[in-house]
Homo-oligomer: A and B are copies of this chain.
Amino acid sequence: MTETPHPLYARHADTLARALKAIAERDFWSAYPESPSPRVYGEHAAAEGRAAYEAYLGTDFPLDQPGTGEPVATEASPFGVPLGVRYPRADPDRLIAAATAALPAWRDAGPATRAGVCLEILARLHAHIFELANAVQFTTGQAFVMAFQAGGAHALDRALEAVAYAYAEQTRHPGTAAWEKPAGRGEPLRMVKTFHVVPRGVALVVGCTTFPTWNSYPGLFASLATGNPVVVKPHPRAVLPLAISVRYARQVLAEAGFEADLIQLAAEAPGEALASSLATRPEVRIVDFTGSTEYGDWLEANARQATVYTEKAGVNTVIVDGTDDFAGMCRNIGFSLTLYSGQMCTTPQNVLVPADGIETDQGHKSFAEVAGGIAAAVGRLTADPARGVELTGAIVNDGVLERLARAAGEGEVVLASRAVTHPEYADALVRTPLIVKLDADAAQTYGREWFGPISFVIATGSTARSLEIFRATVGERGALTASVYATDPQVLAAVEEAALAVGVHLSCNLTGGVFVNQSAAFSDFHASGANPAANAALTDGAYVANRFRIVQSRRHAPATA
**Which residues of chain A have a CB within 8 Å of any CB of chain B?**
1, 23-28, 104, 107, 168-169, 172-174, 177-181, 183, 189, 191, 193, 195-196, 198, 200, 300-301, 304, 496-497, 499-501, 503-514, 520, 523-525, 528-530, 537, 540-542, 545-546, 549-556
Contact = CB atoms under 8 A, between A and B. Distances in A.
A177 B523 contact: yes
Contacts of A508: 553-555
A524 B499 contact: no
Contact of A541 (B107, B169, B193, B556): B169
A27 to B, nearest CB: 5
A471 to B, nearest CB: 13
A6 to B, nearest CB: 20
Nearest to A492: B555
A507 B546 contact: no
A549 B523 contact: no
> Which of A23, A107, A174, A193 has most chain B Cβ within 10 Å?
A193
A556 B512 CA distance: 9
Nearest to A505: B552
B24 A172 contact: yes
A186 to B, nearest CB: 8
A271 B555 CA distance: 45
Given A499-B551, A530-B198, A183 B523 contact: no
B27 A503 contact: no
A192 to B, nearest CB: 9
Nearest to A192: B508
Given A508-B553, A530-B551, A542-B549, 8 more contacts: A24-B174, A26-B173, A172-B541, A179-B520, A505-B552, A507-B555, A540-B545, A540-B550
A496 B300 CA distance: 33
Contacts of A183: 513
A216 B497 CA distance: 32
Contact of A510 (B169, B179, B556): B556
Contacts of A300: 304
Report copies per complex: 2
B554 A506 contact: yes
A528 B509 CA distance: 46
B555 A180 contact: no
A329 to B, nearest CB: 12
B507 A27 contact: no
A515 to B, nearest CB: 11
Given A172-B541, A551-B505, A556 B511 contact: yes
Given A26-B195, A189-B512, A528 B505 contact: no
A506 B552 contact: yes
B26 A503 contact: no
20 contacts: A1-B496, A24-B174, A26-B173, A27-B177, A28-B179, A104-B497, A193-B524, A499-B551, A505-B552, A505-B553, A506-B551, A506-B553, A507-B555, A510-B556, A511-B556, A524-B552, A530-B549, A541-B541, A545-B546, A546-B546
Nearest to A497: B104
Contact of A27 (B178, B196, B504, B546): B178
Nearest to A34: B181
**Which 7 A-B pairs have CB atoms at the shortest separation, nearest pair first?**
A508-B555, A542-B545, A530-B549, A506-B553, A545-B545, A26-B177, A541-B545
A196 B540 CA distance: 13
A27 B180 contact: yes
Nearest to A529: B549
B27 A179 contact: yes
Contacts of A549: 503, 528-530, 537, 542
A507 B554 contact: yes
Contacts of A510: 556
A110 to B, nearest CB: 13
A183 B30 CA distance: 13
A177 B541 contact: no
Contacts of A551: 499-500, 503-506, 528, 530
A550 B519 CA distance: 14
A133 to B, nearest CB: 20
Given A177-B25, A179-B28, A530-B198, A191 B514 contact: yes
Contacts of A496: 1, 553
A191 to B, nearest CB: 6
A510 B189 CA distance: 11
A513 B541 CA distance: 37
Nearest to A169: B541
Nearest to A35: B184
